C-alpha cells in the first residue's frame, strides 16, 4: 500500500510540474498563406524552433491568400489579429506592424541584410523601424513554352527584345501550333506596371505624390488594350471579371495552352512540380519598352504585429526565422529568390530543383539588377494597392468594351484620388 501511495504522489507531482511547464509556454500565432510548398517548409523549421525553445509554442494558421488580403486588415484594425503575419500588401499592413528593434538580438544584422526592403514594411513617415523581413523577393517576368516555339519553327526573341517583338512572335507561334493563348498576363497591378514602367511610366510626381497617368503609362495601357483587340491576349483574364479580382493563367500554362505567360518568380516551384517534363519551359528576361527593361519587384514579408501580447517571444521567433542558415534553407527548399542580401551575394544552392527551375531562378535573380527605381518606389508606396486596383478595374472595363481608354484614365485618376482622400480623413 505504501509503495502505491508513493507512486501516486509522484505521478501527481509530475503532472503538476508538467502542467506548470505547459502553462508557462507562450503561444505565438502566425497567419500564413502559401503559393507553393513554403507552408510545409516553414512548418519543419518551426518544429525545430520549438524543440530549441520549449517555452514558446508557435501556431501556424495556414489561410488562403484572399484571407490575408481581405480579412486580415479588418482583424488587425479590430486588434484581434495574429502575432505575426505573412503579407503581400506590405504598405497597407505597415500601420499595424510592431517595431522589433528593442527586442531583437542584433538589429544591425537586420539592417545589413534586409536594408533595402525594410522601408516597404514601415508605417508612413517612419524611417527607422524594423518590422519584418521578406520571406521571398519576387520579380515579375515572363515564362515561355519553349516547346511551342520549337514546334512552330520560330526563333525566340533576344534578351533585349521589346514587348512588341514578343507580342508578334507569340502570336505567330500560337497561330502555327493552334495554341489558344499567345500571351497571358495575370490580372494584377504588379504585372501591368512591369509593362507600363518599361514603357516609361513615372507613376509619381517630383513630390512623391501619385501622378499615374503619363505618356509612359498610356503607352503601356494602349499596348495591353491593343493586344486584346488583335488577338495577342484573350479576354478571359483581364476582360472576364469586374473590379479588383485577380485572375491567373497557371492552369492554362501547365496545359500548354499559353505561349508566353507574364507572371513572376513565385510560380517556379509550382511549374517545376506541375509541368514536369511535359514540355520545355523557361523564364526569359523582362521585355524592354521605350523606357527600360524593368519588371516589378514585390514579394511577401513576414511582419510582426504590434497588438501582440508577447513581443519578446515574437522577436525570438523572427530572429530565428531571419537567421542566415534558417532563411537559406527556407529559400532553397521553397525555390524563392532571396530577400536577404548576404544570402543573395553568396548565391543559393537550390538542391531539390530541376534544371529548368534552377535556370529560371537565375533569370529572375539577374533581373533584380535591371529593376527601375520607379518600380522600387511604387512597391514601397504605402497606398500602392489603391493604384493597382484602380488600374486593374478600369483597364479591365475598357478591355471588355465598356468605354474608351481615355474614359478609363479619367476614372483611374478619380478612383485613386477618392480613396487616398478617404484614407486621409
Q: Tell me if residue 25 falls in helix, strand or coil.
A: coil
Instruction: Write the CB contacts of 320 (distance below 8 Å, at least 6 apart in sequence).
Output: 49, 52, 53, 326
* Residue 92 or 339 having the CB closest to another protein: 92
**Minimum separation from the CB atom of position 73 to another protein (A):** 6
* Residue 23 or 80 having the CB closest to another protein: 80
Burial class (CB in 10 A: 0-12, 13-18, 19+), 49: middle
Burial class (CB in 10 A: 0-12, 13-18, 19+), 23: exposed
73 belongs to the binding site for another protein (CB under 8 A): yes
411 belongs to the binding site for another protein (CB under 8 A): yes
Which one among 47, 402, 406, 417 touches another protein, defined by CB under 8 A? Answer: 402
**Minimum separation from the CB atom of position 21 to another protein (A):** 38
Q: Which stretch binds another protein (CB under 8 A): 74-82, 111-119, 295-303, 351-359?
A: 74-82
**Minimum separation from the CB atom of position 320 to another protein (A):** 31
229 belongs to the binding site for another protein (CB under 8 A): no
* Residue 180 or 276 having the CB closest to another protein: 180
CA distance 183 to 167: 7
* Residue 5 or 424 having the CB closest to another protein: 424
243 belongs to the binding site for another protein (CB under 8 A): yes
Per DSSP, the residues of 232-254 read SS-HHHHTSS-TT-----HHHHH
**Minimum separation from the CB atom of position 300 to another protein (A):** 16
Instruction: Write the CB contacts of 40 (distance below 8 Å, at least 6 apart in sequence).
Output: none
419 belongs to the binding site for another protein (CB under 8 A): yes
Torsion of CA 384, 388, 390, 394, to 10 degrees: 160
DSSP 122: S
CA distance 325 to 322: 9
HSE of 347, CA atoms in CB hemisphere, 13 A? 5
The count of other CB atoms within 10 Å of the CB of residue 162 is 18
Which one among 236, 280, 329, 413 touches another protein, defined by CB under 8 A? Answer: 236
**Minimum separation from the CB atom of position 245 to another protein (A):** 5
178 belongs to the binding site for another protein (CB under 8 A): no
**Minimum separation from the CB atom of position 304 to another protein (A):** 20
* Residue 27 or 242 having the CB closest to another protein: 242
**Minimum separation from the CB atom of position 252 to another protein (A):** 9
* Residue 91 or 339 having the CB closest to another protein: 91
258-264 vs 181-185, strand pairing mode: parallel
* Residue 44 or 402 having the CB closest to another protein: 402
Produce one character per residue of 261-278: b if its CB has 16 or more CB atoms within 10 Å, e if not. Answer: bbbbbbbbbbbbeebeee
**Minimum separation from the CB atom of position 114 to another protein (A):** 23
Cell of 425: 480623413
**Minimum separation from the CB atom of position 131 to another protein (A):** 18
209 belongs to the binding site for another protein (CB under 8 A): no
> How do the residues of the chain divide into helix, strand and coil, expressed in percent and rounded to 5?
55, 15, 30
Burial class (CB in 10 A: 0-12, 13-18, 19+), 153: exposed
Which one among 180, 276, 347, 373 touches another protein, defined by CB under 8 A? Answer: 180
Q: How many residues bind another protein (CB under 8 A)?
A: 41
Which one among 167, 239, 289, 301 touches another protein, defined by CB under 8 A? Answer: 239
List residues near another protein by CB under 8 A.
69-71, 73-74, 77-78, 89, 92, 180, 234-236, 239-245, 247, 383-386, 389, 396-397, 399-403, 407, 411, 414, 419-420, 422-423, 425
Amino acid at each position: 500500500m505504501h509503495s502505491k501511495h508513493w507512486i501516486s504522489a509522484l505521478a501527481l507531482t509530475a503532472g503538476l510540474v508538467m502542467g506548470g511547464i505547459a502553462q508557462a509556454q507562450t503561444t505565438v500565432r502566425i497567419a500564413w498563406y502559401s503559393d507553393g510548398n513554403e507552408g510545409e517548409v516553414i512548418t519543419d523549421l518551426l518544429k525545430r524552433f520549438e524543440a530549441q525553445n520549449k517555452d514558446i509554442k508557435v501556431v501556424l494558421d495556414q489561410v488562403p491568400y484572399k484571407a490575408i488580403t481581405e480579412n486580415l486588415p479588418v482583424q488587425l484594425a479590430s486588434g484581434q489579429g495574429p502575432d505575426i503575419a505573412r503579407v503581400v500588401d506590405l504598405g497597407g499592413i505597415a500601420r499595424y506592424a510592431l517595431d522589433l528593434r528593442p527586442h531583437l538580438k542584433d538589429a544591425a544584422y537586420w539592417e545589413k541584410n534586409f536594408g533595402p526592403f525594410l522601408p516597404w514594411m514601415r508605417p508612413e513617415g517612419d524611417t527607422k523601424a524594423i518590422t519584418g523581413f521578406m520571406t521571398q523577393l519576387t520579380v515579375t517576368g515572363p515564362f515561355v513554352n519553349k516547346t511551342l516555339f520549337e514546334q512552330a519553327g520560330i526563333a525566340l526573341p533576344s534578351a533585349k527584345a521589346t514587348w512588341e517583338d514578343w507580342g508578334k512572335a507569340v502570336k505567330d507561334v500560337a497561330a502555327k501550333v493552334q495554341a489558344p493563348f499567345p500571351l497571358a498576363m495575370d490580372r494584377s497591378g504588379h504585372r501591368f506596371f512591369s509593362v507600363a514602367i518599361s514603357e516609361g511610366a513615372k507613376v509619381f510626381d517630383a513630390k512623391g505624390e501619385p501622378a499615374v497617368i503619363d505618356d509612359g503609362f498610356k503607352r503601356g495601357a494602349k499596348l495591353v488594350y491593343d493586344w486584346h483587340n488583335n488577338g495577342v491576349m484573350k479576354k478571359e483574364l483581364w476582360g472576364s471579371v469586374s473590379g479588383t479580382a485577380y485572375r491567373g493563367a497557371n492552369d492554362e500554362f501547365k496545359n500548354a495552352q499559353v505561349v508566353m505567360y507574364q507572371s513572376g518568380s513565385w510560380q517556379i516551384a509550382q511549374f517545376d512540380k506541375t509541368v514536369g517534363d511535359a514540355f520545355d519551359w523557361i523564364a526569359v528576361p523582362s521585355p524592354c519598352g521605350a523606357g527600360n527593361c524593368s519588371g516589378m519587384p514585390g514579394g511577401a514579408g513576414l511582419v510582426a504585429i504590434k497588438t501582440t501580447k508577447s513581443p519578446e517571444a515574437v522577436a525570438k521567433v523572427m530572429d530565428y526565422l531571419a537567421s542566415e542558415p534558417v532563411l537559406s534553407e527556407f529559400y532553397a527548399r521553397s525555390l524563392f529568390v532571396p530577400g536577404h542580401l548576404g544570402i543573395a551575394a553568396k548565391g543559393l544552392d537550390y538542391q531539390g530543383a530541376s534544371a529548368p527551375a534552377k535556370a529560371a531562378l537565375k533569370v529572375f535573380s539577374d533581373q533584380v539588377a535591371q529593376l527601375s527605381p520607379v518600380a522600387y518606389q511604387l512597391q514601397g508606396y504605402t497606398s500602392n494597392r489603391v493604384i493597382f486596383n484602380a488600374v486593374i478595374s478600369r483597364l479591365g472595363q475598357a478591355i471588355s468594351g465598356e468605354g474608351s481608354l481615355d474614359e478609363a484614365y479619367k476614372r483611374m485618376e478619380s478612383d485613386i484620388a477618392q480613396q487616398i482622400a478617404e484614407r486621409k480623413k
